[in-house]
Amino acid sequence: MRGRIHSLDTFGTVDGPGIRFVLFMQGCALQCGFCHNPDTWETATGHVVEVASVLDEIEPFLPYYRSSNGGLTVTGGEPTLQAPFVAALFREAKKRWNLHTALDSSGFCEPEHAGELMDVTDLVLLDLKHIRSDKHQALTSQPNERILRFARWLSDRGQPVWIRHVLIPGVTDDAADLLELGRFIGSLGNVHKLEVLPYHRMGVYKWEQLGKAYPLEHVPTPSDRELERAKRLIDQGREQA
C-alpha cells in the first residue's frame, strides 16, 4: 500500500494527546485563505511512500509516544483523500504496537469513503472552518454541507472528536456565527474537547514561494481577549443546543 506524503514530524505536541509522530499527507480539496501549508494542495506532488517505510520512521521514537500517552497523527493536506493508505497505516500501527491513532481532517469527505478508516481511528481532530456555508466557501473555496454531514455521521458512530476552530479577526469572529457554531457542536454527542485556535501568519512565506497572493495579508492575529470571547460565545451556543 502506497501513499503520497508531504512531510513528517517525529515530535509533534499540538496534534492530539501526548507526544506524536505526525504524518502530513499530500493533496487537499480545500484552498483555505489562511492555510499554512498551501504546498500540500496539489495531489500529484510530494513523496510516494509505503506503509512499511512510515512504520520504520515511527519505531525509533516509540518510547516517547508510549511514555506520554501519545501516538500517531495523520494530517495534511486532507488525509481522507488517501483513506485506504491511512487506514492500512493505522491498522498496522495498532497491530504492531497498539499505538493511539488520530486523524486531523477538514471533514470534507463522504462518509462511505471513511468507514474502514474510522474503524482504526481513535480520535478525529475535526477542523470546522465556518458554520455558514457562504462564508465557508469564500474562505476555503468549498461549501460546508459535506463537512457538517460528515460531523453528524461521526457523532452517530460515537467516534471521539476534538473540534478545532481557527479564529480569524473579521472573518470567523462574528458573534451570531460563533453562537450558531456552538449550537451545531452542542447537537453532536461525541465532542470530547473544543479548541479555539488563533489565526497566525507562519505560512505566508510558502504562499510567496509558490507565487500566490496571500488573501489575508492585512488580517491581524487575535488577542487573548478575542479568543476568550469566541470560546465564551461558542460555549453559550452549546448550552442552547
List CB contacts of 60: < 8 A, sequence separation 6 or more.
none
Beta bridge partners of 9: 22
- Decide: 90 and 118 in contact? Cβ < 8 Å: no
Predicted local distance difference test score (pLDDT) of residue 187? 98
Predicted local distance difference test score (pLDDT) of residue 221? 95
Predicted local distance difference test score (pLDDT) of residue 18? 98
User: Across the chain, which distance is largest between two alpha carbons, in Å?
Assistant: 48
Query: Which cell goes with 182?
Result: 456552538
Report CA-CA distances (Å) from 37 to 63, 97, 105, 118, 142. 29, 30, 14, 25, 17
Alpha helices in the chain (DSSP H): 51-58, 62-67, 83-97, 115-118, 133-140, 145-157, 175-186, 204-209, 224-240
Amino acid at 39: D
Residue 46, Ramachandran bin (φ over 0: left; ψ between -120 and 50: alpha; else beta) = left
Query: Which cell goes with 196?
Result: 479555539
Secondary structure of 27-54 as H, E, C letters: CCCCCCCCCCCHHHCCCCCCEEEEHHHH
List CB contacts of 141: < 8 A, sequence separation 6 or more.
30, 31, 32
Pairing of strands 47-50, 20-25: unpaired
List CB contacts of 11: < 8 A, sequence separation 6 or more.
19, 61, 64
Query: Which cell goes with 68?
Result: 506520554
Q: Report pTM.
A: 0.96
Predicted local distance difference test score (pLDDT) of residue 26? 97
For 188, other C-beta atoms within 10 Å of its C-beta total 17
Task: Read off the pLDDT of residues 18-67 as tens digits, 9 standing for 90 and up.
Answer: 999 999 999 999 999 999 889 999 999 999 999 999 999 999 999 999 99
Residues of the chain scoring pLDDT < 50: none
Residue 137, Ramachandran bin (φ over 0: left; ψ between -120 and 50: alpha; else beta) = alpha
